[in-house]
């Protein structure tokens, strides 16, 4: 990292928000929580929630989360 670069950690349960704000998205497993997958967001900024180009990425994230949600049901 350069001298003026910053790292900010956002925690969210909102997939659209994650794709708009993040540069890397870490998907956690069910308990005990471990990082299941890290996805790099390769889209230029600024990003908008309404951006249809983000839909495939959001679908990928939801596909990773579904099995973890089913474990809790």
Question: Which pLDDT score is estimated for 56?
Answer: 97
Give the integer Cα–Cα distance in Å for 15 and 35. 16
Is the four-CA dihedral 48, 6, 9, 23 of positive or negative sign? positive
| Ranges of the chain whose pLDDT falls below 70 | 1-2
Question: Which pLDDT score is estimated for 70?
Answer: 87
Question: Which pLDDT score is estimated for 35?
Answer: 96
CB proximity list for 7: less than 8 A, separation 6 or greater: 1
């Amino acid at each position: 990292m350069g001298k003026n670069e910053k790292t900010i950690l956002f925690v969210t349960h909102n997939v659209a928000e994650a794709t708009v704000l993040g540069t890397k998205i870490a998907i956690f497993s069910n308990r005990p929580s471990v990082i299941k997958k890290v996805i790099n967001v390769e889209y230029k900024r600024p990003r908008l929630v309404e951006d249809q180009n983000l839909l495939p990425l959001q679908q990928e994230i939801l596909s990773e989360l579904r099995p973890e949600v089913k474990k809790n049901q």
